[in-house]
Amino acid sequence: MPGRQAITFQERKQGMGNITEEENNPFAELRTYNPDIIDDGVVDEEGYLSAKYKIMYVLKEVNGGKGWSLREFVRNGGRPQTWDNFARWTEAILDLDAERPWSYWEKDNEARRNRILKMICAVNVKKTSGGHTSNADEIYQAAIDNSLILQKQLNLYDPDIIICCGTEKAFVDACYKNQELDWKMTSRGIWYFVDNGKVVISFAHPEARVKDCFLHYALVDAVREIRLKEINSISALDKPFID
């Protein structure tokens, strides 16, 4: 089943404000209280708004450093350990009808990162750095404390697909508090819900101790199934991804 055709940057921008300017404001305010804050969000405004689907990845925290920009880091290609998988996942989701062997995805990862990551949005629920192993309680509390900025980011970026990378409870409790959500499970066990046309998926972190190929096809298969399963249950006007 064919997906939606990509629309131009200018067509989408007409319905949205200046993302870069608007997302800078809350981080500038936060840094007046805590200069260690690390900004995140849309990597490249034109790339994000021009993509076939607007994809937002929700992460826990960065690993190390103070006061730097995750957006700039990812715009410059990130690092292979985390961002190879994000680039693969994104390319596959943006071309769901293509079926490619793992041998394709193993190649040209640096070039893929530099090309594809400019199309995504990456948001941390905790806006300061942590260590190699995240503290679940700290992550959850940070998400609740940051609920206002997370909700502002969600509204500003207006993503079609939100992929929670081990962050679904923290993100949902911060951004969907007191809402009744209709969680569903794909045939292969991936949980998701749809809210106002946005598909929110509970998934693993890209550095989970699982083979990259297992993670890749698990997510892509889930997104394909969600698109097919939900297409008849939501008005086409309300489902930019599913349409």
What are 42-91's pLDDT values in tens digits? 999 999 999 999 999 999 999 889 999 999 999 999 999 999 999 999 99
Do the domain assignments include residue 6? no
189 within a domain of the structure (yes/no): yes
Among 43-52, 121-130, 229-238, which is the least confidently predicted range?
Answer: 229-238
Residue 121, domain extent:
36-238
Is there a domain that residue 226 lies in? yes
Mean pLDDT of all residues belonging to the chain: 89
- Look at residue 203 and tell me if it is in a domain: yes
- For residue 156, which of 47, 15, 4, 5 has the smallest C-alpha distance? 15
How many independent structural domains does the chain possess? 1
Q: Residue 199: which CATH number?
A: 3.40.470
Q: Measured between alpha carbons, how far is 180 from 195 in angstroms, rounded to an integer?
A: 10
Residue 51, classed as helix, strand or coil, is coil
- The pTM of the full predicted model, rounded to 2 decimals, is 0.89
CB of 164 closer than 8 Å to CB of 201? yes
